[in-house]
């Protein structure tokens, strides 16, 4: 019996392929993120802290809810988008961050939204994990871009609606259990998300006319608020 226990205690622990792939890909991306951050800002502390926190949450969720045997290119694309968002957080604390750099990175992160979903469907790797991963990445991207626009005085505080509406909704769910119920799929929600991030990226464009800033920010904020209102109304009615 002792010999068997000794064998079990000393043999290598098997690591599931998705976990191993996530760790390897995250390590490679983290190195690239650190190098790019050092070149752009002279410091990689903030981007690496954000990426490290995201990796910890992602690893936990992957182990608990991911149903497939391989991680897939779809999730690697989303992971790369997370790294781009982490890079953008560095612009919030860096002095004199280049607005063109912020715009280009944000545009690439936005352009890749939808690619991961398409890859997941094409490879048969769709999952609630992947959908949640993509959604939270979009939410974080929106939050970072809205803060950048506010801090840079490109817009007023109304822009924060675009970045933090989802987090306010989640916070409200702590007090209203009905808001934690599952929502049905809705094209309206996906379309408004595209409008939300698209508006933020447009406002980041250094050549966007100043006269267009308020119409773009307020229109997108109103549409996003309406979309959340529709969902909240549906959830409260369902809970009755």
pTM of the model: 0.90
Per cent of the chain over pLDDT 70 is: 94
Cα 47 to Cα 236: distance, rounded to the nearest angstrom: 38
What is the average pLDDT value for the chain, to the nearest integer?
A: 90
pLDDT tens track for 185-228: 889 999 999 999 999 999 999 999 999 999 999 999 999 999 99
Residue 223's pLDDT is: 95
pLDDT tens track for 154-195: 998 989 999 999 999 999 999 999 999 888 888 999 999 999
pLDDT tens track for 16-58: 789 999 999 999 999 999 999 999 998 999 999 999 999 999 9
pLDDT tens track for 101-121: 999 999 999 999 989 989 999
Residue 12's pLDDT is: 42
Mean pLDDT, residues 136-144 taken together: 96
Q: What is the DSSP letter of 181?
A: S
Cα 201 to Cα 103: distance, rounded to the nearest angstrom: 7
Neighbours of 192 (CB within 10 A): 19
Which residue, among 34, 42, 134, 150, has the nearest Cα to 86 in the 3D structure? Answer: 34
Residue 13 pLDDT level (bands cut at 50, 70, 90)? very low
Tokens of 46: 């903030």
Residue 3's pLDDT is: 43
pLDDT tens track for 49-97: 999 999 999 999 999 999 999 999 999 999 999 999 999 999 999 878 8
Residue 231's pLDDT is: 95
Residue 15's pLDDT is: 52
Statement: residue 122 has pLDDT above 50 = yes
- Residues 78, 62 contacting (CB under 8 angstroms): no
Residue 9's pLDDT is: 43
For 34, the 3-state DSSP assignment is helix
């Amino acid at each position: 019996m002792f010999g068997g226990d000794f064998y079990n205690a000393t043999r290598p622990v098997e690591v599931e392929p998705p976990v191993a792939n996530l760790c390897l890909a995250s390590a490679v991306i983290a190195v690239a993120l650190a190098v790019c951050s050092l070149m752009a800002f002279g410091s990689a502390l903030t981007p690496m802290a954000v990426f490290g926190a995201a990796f910890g949450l992602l690893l936990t969720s992957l182990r608990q809810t991911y149903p497939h045997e391989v991680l897939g290119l779809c999730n690697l694309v989303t992971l790369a988008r997370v790294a781009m968002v982490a890079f953008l957080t560095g612009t919030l604390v860096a002095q004199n961050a280049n607005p063109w750099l912020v715009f280009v990175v944000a545009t690439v992160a936005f352009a890749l939204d939808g690619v991961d979903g398409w890859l997941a469907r094409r490879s048969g790797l769709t999952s609630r994990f992947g959908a949640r991963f993509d959604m939270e990445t979009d939410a974080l991207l929106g939050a970072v871009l809205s803060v950048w626009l506010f801090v840079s005085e490109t817009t007023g505080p109304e822009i924060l609606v675009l970045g933090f509406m989802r987090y306010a909704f989640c916070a409200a769910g702590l007090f209203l259990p009905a808001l934690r119920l599952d929502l049905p799929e809705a094209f309206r929600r996906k379309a408004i998300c595209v409008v939300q991030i698209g508006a933020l990226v447009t406002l980041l464009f250094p050549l966007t006319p100043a006269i267009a800033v308020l119409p773009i920010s307020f229109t997108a904020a109103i549409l996003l608020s309406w979309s959340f209102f529709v969902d909240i109304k549906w959830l409260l009615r369902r809970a009755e």
